[in-house]
Structures are given as structure tokens and as C-alpha cells.
Amino acid sequence: MSLVGPLLLATFLFCVGVYGLIARRNAVLVLISVEMMLVSVNINLVAFQNLLFPAEAAVSGQMFALFIIAVAAAEAGVGLAIILNLFRNRASVNVDDVDLMRW
């Protein structure tokens, strides 16, 4: 199998994530965009491991992907808690509204 397919998919997902991060104003959607970027990293790691270094004994690429999945879950949990708390305080999760402090 060629490496081009998985890498294109990963790059596409990463770019969608970056776009979402910049364009979306809803904090939950921003969080989803970041998760999308993390998923693209996982695809990269697993694809490199399987197609370029199948003989590597430590399977470090796939192990790395597993760790990223676990950490991303923790991040999403904390992030949603923070967003929920923000919503309780000001009834909005729009990141543009979060501007009490400037300079």
C-alpha cells in the first residue's frame, strides 16, 4: 500500500482542524477542530509505522498513537468542563465574547 493515501488524508484532516480553529466561534466546535488535528497525527503515526517501519520491535508509532488517544480523551474531558463552567457563568460559549481582559 502506498503512503500517499494515508498522508493525504492526515494532511487534509489537519488543515480542516486548523481552519475550524480559526473560523469557528463556538468553543465546542473549536475543541472538536483540535481533536481533528490530533486524529490526523494518529493517522500519520500509524501509517508511518505500518508502511515505513514494519520491522521496528518497539512499535513506537502505534504506541504513541495509543497515548495520544488517551491524552486527547483527558483533554476533551477537562476542556468540556471548562466550557461548561464558562456557559454557567455567562450563558454563552462564543469565544468572541470572552474578552474581559485585553492588553
Partner 1 sequence: MLIDWLAIAPEIALTVTALLVLFADLNLRGDAKQLVAPIAGLGTVVAIVFTAILWGDERATFGGMFVVNEYAVVFKLLFLGALLAILGISWRFFAEGRYYQGEYYFLLLTSFVGMIIMPSARDLLLLFVALETVSIPAFIMAGMRKRSLYSSEAALKFFLIGVLSVALMLFGISLVYGFTGTTDLAGIAAAIAAAGDVEPLLLAAVMLVVVGFGFKISAVPFHFWAPDTYAGSPLPVAAMLAVASKAAGFAGLLAIAFIAFEPLAEFWAPVLGVIAILTMTLGNLIALQQRDLIRLLAYSSVAQAGYMLIPFGLARPGATVVNDAAVQAVLFYLIAYAVMNIGAFGVAIAVHRRTGIRSLRDYAGLAQQSPLMAMGMTVFLLSLGGAPPTVGLWAKFAIVQAALTDVTMFAVVLMVFLVVNSVIAFFYYLKVVKTMWMDQAHEGMPALEPGFNLSLVVIVLMVGTVVLGVLPGLISDATSLTSLVAAG
3-state secondary structure 16-56: HHHHHHHHCCEHHHHHHHHHHHHHHHHHHHHHHHHHHCCCC
Tell the smallest beta-carbon distance from residue 75 to partner 1 (Å). 6
Handedness of CA 88, 97, 24, 21 (dihedral sign): negative
Ordered DSSP codes for 54-94: TT-TT-HHHHHHHHHHHHHHHHHHHHHHHHHHHHHHHS--B
Q: Which of residues 16-75 bind partner 1 (CB under 8 A)?
A: 17, 21, 27, 30-31, 34, 37-38, 40-41, 44-45, 48, 52-53, 56, 58, 60-61, 63-64, 67-68, 71, 74-75
Binding of partner 1 at residue 82 (CB under 8 A)?
A: yes
Nearest to partner 1 of 2, 89 (CB atom): 89
Q: How many CB atoms lie within 10 A of CB 42?
A: 19
Instruction: Please give the residue ranges that form the binding site for partner 1 (CB under 8 A).
Output: 10, 14, 17, 21, 27, 30-31, 34, 37-38, 40-41, 44-45, 48, 52-53, 56, 58, 60-61, 63-64, 67-68, 71, 74-75, 78-79, 81-83, 85-86, 89-90, 95, 98, 100-101, 103
